[in-house]
Structure 1
């Protein structure tokens, strides 16, 4: 029996484990992957995400995080550019998640890797390596379904699918996006292209299932479509893929996750609690924030109800605003009108970037 059992070693899981160990709790963390691996993520670390990592004793700049202080929004032939109201970082989950797990281990967390969680029953968790019991279970498994877990969200009748690939860009393309995140809007989805560490560029996109089917249903078909788009195709034409295959995910359920009746002591974190529109680039910060809120609640002996209430205060405003922007982008007429407005008043893009941040953690 341990004080806290964390299921999942991503941003939310590792952050909560580190904080609980620092509060004197006994913590076991179970991660299904045995080594570094790529995850679907825009890898855009906003200012609140940076703050959370620094509070955990991690310097993302020292890890090679690439400064990003400009945003470009593209739709058709139009491109709108603005300075961000903060300096973000491009930093891969491949590197960041490993550093967080190493930090958890140094903090006294019992980190167990290469173990698959098979089922949950109250405070009892079964895994491929045996059973565990804990006073609090922090569920941070992302989209991995666990038997007995009733927190799974549904992406609806036409859900989004996600793709992510790292590229080595030609020198001219690399210079074009230096210090910049370029957001490319298209019918049925959008993509983000930005630098991360070591001269690498991350392309991450979401696309509606029906639109993906229209294109042929494959990564190659999606790439062929992107190469036809202005302000995108010229950057990707001679790009060298750095991953054997893209990371993929299906049935993305944006918004606040449903809260079915669940056992006291089960805290859903990260994507199990909410998933903000990727367009705003605050997903990493939201995942970390859920870990901070859950750790605070568990350390202070608060209930799951208290956790949901505190988490809602922290994230609901950001998620509502982000989802409103995503709905606008999905309607061609509204998207064109919005781009026209931003082209006429580029400063609005700066304010939108500020308005879709989490508030500072205190």
Structure 2
């Protein structure tokens, strides 16, 4: 039986594997993908995420990460911009996840790829290659359920997420340089920024009813985006780099429901809770959960203690981000938020600061 059995090799799972192995624990990490792959994600590394990556020995700039110093809020043809109150970076999950799982392996964690988890019963995981047992089981499978789990309840008018990488025109590249752009849309929002290798990442979140009104397919969504103010100009000559966008439905944003984490497994990252994407702190929360899970494993603490500590670390951020997202889905709130930012641009920096995680204390 291994000290830590980790299911999932994304940000949270790989961070926990790296730290537990460094601390002398025996770690087995199971990852279902055989190699680098893309995920639906805004690919915005906030100040907390960057700090955690450097603590793990991963330098995002060495992977080609693009510095982001400014935030631009767009509503129709109108825009307001301000400096971010912290340094941020843009980097794809394709590059980052591979760097982290490599760091975990270099730290002494055993990595098995191409392994699908088919069931979880207490401290035992059933997989496509047999059973594995762990004194501590860490579930870090992201937005995807473990095969055989009861499907999540269908969310009434829930969110649908899309991601597409583009090769932009030189003029559009220059227009985006150094900025994260948040575009307020009817029924959702889009984030656009540069990442490594001269690419741009568009991440879009829509309510299910808004998606249905656009025909319920990407072609309808893309045609709508390309006719929408700022995005029309930026995407006019853009070359899509995926044959089709990555997509995911039934997204459950907000704090975890009561009774969500009652078993013996530690839930990491999006398996714990999904913070709204517009704050750009999803990757930071995933990494923070990995750091906290590793601390608890090495200290011999149980899953209940871990979940209480994680709620204390992330609860305020998730609640504030959810209130902001729900507000921006109201036309009146969107209008008021834009004009408030227009009259007093520092309010954007205040919102960015208010939705950050608390500082991580190494010896807490």
Which of the five TM-score ranges fits, normalised by the shorter chain?
over 0.9
What is the deviation of 1:77?
2.4
**1:339 aligned residue:** 338
Does the C-alpha gap of structure 1 residues 155 and 76 become closer, same or farther in structure 2, counting only changes over 3 Å?
Answer: farther
What SS class does the counterpart of residue 204 from structure 1 fall into? Answer: strand
How many equivalent residue pairs?
A: 360
What is the deviation of 1:260?
3.7
Mapping of 1:270-281 within 5 angstroms? 270-281=269-280
CA distance in 1, matches of 2:133, 2:92: 33
What SS class does the counterpart of residue 342 from structure 2 fall into? Answer: helix
CA distance in 2, matches of 1:318, 1:153: 23
**2:193 aligned residue:** 194
Q: What's the TM-score, normalizing by structure 2?
A: 0.96
**1:236 aligned residue:** 235
Mapping of 1:7-18 within 5 angstroms? 7-18=7-18
Q: CA RMSD for the aligned pairs?
A: 1.3
What is the deviation of 1:274?
1.1
Matched-pair contact (CA < 8 Å) for 1:165–1:247: yes
Question: Which segments of 5 or more consecutive residues in structure 1 lack a partner in the other structure?
Answer: none
**1:50 aligned residue:** 50
**1:65 aligned residue:** 65
Mapping of 1:256-295 within 5 angstroms? 256-258=255-257, 259-260=259-260, 262-264=262-264, 266-295=265-294
Q: What's the TM-score, normalizing by structure 1?
A: 0.97
Is structure 2 residue 5 aligned with structure 1 residue 5? Answer: yes
CA distance in 1, matches of 2:319, 2:292: 19
Matched-pair contact (CA < 8 Å) for 1:277–1:322: yes
Matched-pair contact (CA < 8 Å) for 1:227–1:233: yes
Range with greater deviation from structure 2 (250-259 or 157-166): 250-259
What is the deviation of 1:6?
0.4
Matched-pair contact (CA < 8 Å) for 1:71–1:84: yes
Matched-pair contact (CA < 8 Å) for 1:45–1:91: yes
**1:93 aligned residue:** 93
Question: Which segments of 5 or more consecutive residues in structure 2 lack a partner in the other structure?
Answer: none
Alpha-carbon deviations, 1:311-341, whole Å to 9, x = none?
0111011111111110111000111011111
What is the deviation of 1:156?
2.0
Matched-pair contact (CA < 8 Å) for 1:5–1:28: yes
